[in-house]
Each structure stands twice: as C-alpha cells, then as structure tokens.
Amino acid sequence: MMRFKAKVSHKFAESPLLELRLPAWRSRLMALLILFSFVVLIGRAFYLQILDTDFLQEKGESRYRRDIEITASRGRIADRHGDVLAISTPMRSIWAVPPAVQLSAEQTQQLAALLETDAQALTRKLTTDKPFVFLRRQIPPPVAAQVAALKLPGIGQDQEYRRFYPTGEMTAHMVGFTGVDDKGLEGAELAFHGKLLGTPGSRSVIKDRRGQIVEDVGSIKPPQDGEDINLALDSKVQYLVYSQLKQAIADSKAKAGGAVVLDARTGEILALANWPTYNPNNRTSLSGAQLRNRALTDTFEPGSTLKPFTIALAMETGKVRFDTPINCAPGRLRIGGATISDTHRYGVLSVAEVIQKSSNVGASKIAAMLPAKTMWDMFDSVGFGQVPSLGFPGEVSGRLRPWKTWRPIEQATMSFGHGISVSLIQLARAYTVFARDGDLAPLSLTRVASARPRGEQVFSPQTAREVRAMLEMAVRPGGTAPRAQIPGYRVAGKTGTARKLEGGRYTTKKYVASFVGFAPASDPRLVVAVMIDEPRGKYYGGEVAAPVFAAVMAGTLRTLGIAPDAPLEVAQSGKPATKARL
C-alpha cells in the first residue's frame, strides 16, 4: 500500500481564505479617530480639573458643605433724645432633622422639659416626614446651652433675635412690633422695616450625613446690622399723653380715645397715644381693637372743630370780617326738610362770637355765602380726604365727597363738621394753618433737621391770626372750653361734639367729643388734638376732651421749657379769675 505524504506550502494563519483586503486609508482613519477621541478626553479633563474647577467643586461640596445664614441684628428704634424704644436681644432657635433623630424615651423627656413642651407633642414633631422642623423659637441662650449639652443626634440650633420694647404699652401704637421672623408687623417697625432689617451674612460649614456640623471652614460674608431709627417722639411727652388719656377714658367710661401732640414749627409728631392699647412684649391674647392705631386708622365726624376753617375761608374770600354780624335767632335754621339747631338761642352774633359760642346756625349761614367748589378746595388743601402720607401702616384718607354732589343742607352741615370724616392726625395737622400763619405743616415721624420746614400756604397770615384770636375767645369765659385754659399761657382752640351714625341715622345716645388747640397763642409752638369716643354721662368736647388737652399741653410746655406768655391765673366761666398755685 502506498502512502502519500501531503506537503503543506503555507501556514494556516496565512491562508488566503482568511485574508481580508481593506483599503489602506480606512485603517488610518480609524487610528486618527481614536487618537482624536483621546485628545478630546484629555482636553476635557484638563479644562475641568485645571481651567474650570467650579462645576466639579460645586458638585463635590454639595455633598458635605453648607452655607449657614448669620442673622443680622435689627436696628434700634429710639426717641428724639436717644432713649431706646425697641431693641433686639440675642436668642436661640432649636431645630431638628427628623430622619436623623434617634432619641431614647429619657432623652425625649429631657428635651421636652427644656423646651417647655409635652413629650408627646415633641415626638409628633420628630416623627414627621418633613426634612426640617423648628422645635422652639427664640429661647434664652442659657436654655439653649443646656440643650446643646445633651448632644442629641439630629438636633441643632441657630442664633436669632427677639425684639424687646422697654416702654411697653405706652408707645405700642407708635413703635409697633415684629413677628417671630423679625419682620415688622405694625407701627414704626413696619413703616421703617427696610431700614431696620439689615442684611444677613453667611458662613460655610461641613456637615455629616446626619446634618451635624463637624467643621467650620470660614465665613463667606459678615452680616450688616440694620440702621437705627430716631423717631420725633419724646418719651416724656408720650408718657404724659398716655397717662392723661388713660385716666380720661376711665373717668368718662368711654369706649376709646386718642391724643396727638405736634410741634407746630417742624411738624414733628412728639406724641401719639390711643386707648385701648396693648403690651408688644406679650401679644398672646390680642384683639383688633387693641391693635388699631386709632389716631391714624379710624375716622370720625369732627363736629364744631371744623367751624374755624369755614369762617377762615369766608374771611379769605372777603365774604365776612372779624366783626361782621350774623343773625342766629331764634337758634334754629331750616334748610329744605332739615332743621339745624344751636344749643342756646342766640340773637345776633359777630363772626368771632360764632366761633366763641360755637353756633351751628351762624356757621351754616356763613357757609351759604361760599361756592361749594371753593369750600371743597379749602378742605382738600388742609389735608381732608387725603392720606397723610406719613408712611405709617393703615393710614386712611377720611371721607370728603365730591362737591358736585353736595346739597345745600350737606354744605351747611359740613361747615360744622357733620357729613365729613377725618382722622385725628389729619385734624391736628389742619390746625397748624392757624398756628403757622396760614401755612400747613408737613408732618414727620422722624426728627426734622430744618427748624421750620416749608409747608403749603392755605390762608393769608392776616386771616390765620384773626381766626387765632377767635379761638382764644373760645377758651375764655363765655366760650365753650374754659376748662382748656392753662395758668401762665395763652391758649387757643375749639371744641367738637358730634353724634355718631348708626344704621344711617344720627343717634342721640353716642357721641364723639374732641378738642384741638395750640399754645402759646402769642407764638404757637405746640398743637394738641384729643378725641374721646362714646363718653358716658358728660359728652361735650368742652367737658370731656378740653381738660385732657389742658393737662397734656401744660405738661408738655413745661417739659420743653417753653416760656409763659400770660399771667399765672385761671379763669373759669362765670367765676372771677383766681391766682393759680404752683
């Protein structure tokens, strides 16, 4: 048998069957693409790690680094002399990260006791699905230190501030108060919130997965404390106004009241008080009535305190003079289907006596001489029907209807303060036209640099001085307010007594008594306005509001060291003048 031996001429790996014939350019292209990809990756890595590290740094730090806000201290509120009315004190807030909290029953009891809460209520807060909860806000630092000493996982604390008001309810309506988040909610705290607030800072810390700070890595931005505010208010005068108003409300068993003291030269509000009031340091049980700053937010019909404006306009336009006779007999005046009456049956009165005796008939007859538009323009020019624009929360414009809708009876009643409503601050400001020789003072809540800011000239100096003389007559014997007199000072002012509206009708059981005046009448420095709402028993402005005016004005004149301009005597209606005892 013959055996054949096969001869292999080439290797298996070099078999022609396995040979792949490709163009040479294709392999070169693939090599270039791979090389380009490596270049792009290296370039990107170089860009992220060398040139622009912010992105990766931010992503990395977000896993462990946090920026914690550093609370700024709210600015102080002080009176014109620098006495503090509102100040922030450092406190602590206790918070928790519920998912990280693991407390034993004993630890829960300890924490609840320090936070002055129930253990069950605390447990409910700690078992919530929320990632963050406050356990207690604004606790004293010593208590916060005891909480920190427990070293409880998931429990932390931050610094914050609590507002403290040293003068309490005395200045509550002027200063206002802040909420738990240090935001102004009422009064000057709200009016000047932007300036008082300040700018919070921040610091960077490293936290672990439980939210605990393990390292402080430095401060990013220091806080900028809020700006201090100096109000025009004088604390001594404010206390005087507050105490006198409170006593008057108690004596007359009235529903409410308010009083305002203005510097006639600068327009600064030296004092503003209301009753009822509240303690801004303890607001656990407050009602809306207590919070209302009635001197700015409530309106009332001012009654006869508006007569001087009607008469000033008639004198300014040449309709009447100081001694022009006005026939007020028989004490009644019928206009349309309505009757206007005086409290007494007067005969012929001079224009000055219309103010002195407060004759509604006389004021109505004088108003009838004036065009409705001219009278409306005058009321508008002294600020009635307009928001005072003090920047104070809740300011109101009052009610001054368009002159085109006035009927003759309405124009007549407006001349003696019915059918129009004003706030106490509007009324006090309006009287500055008589105290400043016809110039209406711009009001200010804060101290004014100028000795006499320029206002708006409403009446001529001559008219203002003549009306001022009439207002002096109103507080002398024979006038409606002899109880407004002050020993040693010439006083000028006007009473107001207005019935209140109920169901669209004037009631005969509820009144608003008021008095507005200024002193010393020879060179007016102060304007004081008083309003007593629903006094019981006596209700005339001369009996209820005028004595408050006298006490407030006398005390303020002495406090400010304003020199007397009259003999030290007190003259009562129907009695001879007697020397006053100092």
**pLDDT tens digits in sequence order for the chain, 582 residues long:** 445 455 555 555 566 655 556 677 777 788 888 888 888 888 877 776 777 666 666 666 555 555 666 778 899 999 999 999 999 988 888 888 888 888 888 888 989 889 888 888 888 888 888 878 888 888 888 998 898 888 888 888 888 888 999 999 999 999 999 987 888 989 999 999 999 988 877 666 665 555 555 555 555 777 788 999 999 999 999 999 999 999 999 999 999 999 999 999 999 999 999 999 999 998 777 777 888 899 999 999 999 999 999 999 999 999 999 999 999 999 999 998 899 999 899 999 999 999 999 999 999 999 999 999 999 999 999 999 999 988 888 899 999 999 999 999 999 999 999 999 999 999 999 999 999 999 999 999 999 887 788 889 999 999 999 999 999 999 999 999 999 999 999 999 999 999 998 888 888 889 999 999 999 999 999 999 999 999 999 999 999 999 999 999 999 999 999 999 888 765 444 343 333 322
Give residue 291's pLDDT: 87
Residues 256 and 168 placed together within one structural domain of the fold: no
Torsion sign over Cα 550, 555, 560, 565: positive
| Secondary structure (3-state) at 113 | helix
Residues 154 and 240 placed together within one structural domain of the fold: no
Give residue 314's pLDDT: 97
CATH number at residue 550: 3.40.710.10
In the chain, what's the furthest Cα-to-Cα distance?
Answer: 174
Which neighbouring-strand residues pair with 326? 349
Q: Which of 167, 221, 172, 224 is nearest to 195 (CA)?
A: 224
Task: List the Cα angle 160/165/171 in 5-degree steps.
Answer: 145
Active site residues: 304
Residues 163 and 246 placed together within one structural domain of the fold: no
Q: How far apart are CA 86 and CA 182, in angstroms?
A: 12
Give residue 156's pLDDT: 84
Radius of gyration of the CA atoms of the chain, in A? 39
> Dihedrals φ, ψ of 188, to 5°?
-65, -30
The answer to whether residues 229 and 446 touch, using CB atoms and an 8 Å cutoff, is: yes
Give residue 30's pLDDT: 82
Give residue 581's pLDDT: 28
The answer to whether residues 413 and 340 touch, using CB atoms and an 8 Å cutoff, is: yes
Q: pTM of this prediction?
A: 0.81
Q: How far apart are CA 232 and CA 85, in angstroms?
A: 12
Residues 189 and 319 placed together within one structural domain of the fold: no
Tell me how long the chain is.
582
55 assigned to some structural domain: no
> Dihedrals φ, ψ of 19, to 5°?
-75, 130
Give residue 23's pLDDT: 73
Residues 199 and 262 placed together within one structural domain of the fold: no
The answer to whether residues 139 and 92 touch, using CB atoms and an 8 Å cutoff, is: yes
62 assigned to some structural domain: no
CATH number at residue 145: 3.90.1310.10
53 assigned to some structural domain: no
Asked whether the bond before 547 is cis by omega within 30 degrees of 0, the reply is: no
Q: How far apart are CA 172 and CA 185, in angstroms?
A: 12
Residues 88 and 225 placed together within one structural domain of the fold: yes
The amino acid present at 140, given as its one-letter code, is P
Residue 240, CA distances (Å) to 4, 94, 99, 521 in order: 139, 42, 56, 21
20 assigned to some structural domain: no
Q: Is 156 left (phi over 0), alpha (psi -120 to 50) or beta?
A: beta
Give residue 41's pLDDT: 86
51 assigned to some structural domain: no
11 assigned to some structural domain: no
Query: 509 lies in which domain range?
Result: 235-579
> Dihedrals φ, ψ of 514, to 5°?
-145, 160
Residues 529 and 397 placed together within one structural domain of the fold: yes
Work out whether strand 229-230 and strand 77-78 pair parallel, antiparallel, or are unpaired: parallel
Q: How far apart are CA 341 and CA 333, in angstroms?
A: 6
Residues 194 and 244 placed together within one structural domain of the fold: no
176 assigned to some structural domain: yes
Residues 357 and 385 placed together within one structural domain of the fold: yes
| Secondary structure (3-state) at 535 | coil
Residues 401 and 531 placed together within one structural domain of the fold: yes
Task: List the Cα angle 44/46/51 in 5-degree steps.
Answer: 105
Residue 196, CA distances (Å) to 175, 184, 224, 290, 435 in order: 12, 9, 11, 24, 34
**Spatial CB neighbours of 60, under 8 Å, sequence gap ≥ 6:** none
Give residue 22's pLDDT: 62
User: Domains in the chain: how many in total?
Assistant: 2
10 assigned to some structural domain: no
Residues 495 and 527 placed together within one structural domain of the fold: yes
| Secondary structure (3-state) at 71 | coil
Task: List the Cα angle 88/94/100 in 5-degree steps.
Answer: 155
Give residue 265's pLDDT: 94
Q: How far apart are CA 364 and CA 418, in angstroms?
A: 11
Residues 425 and 458 placed together within one structural domain of the fold: yes
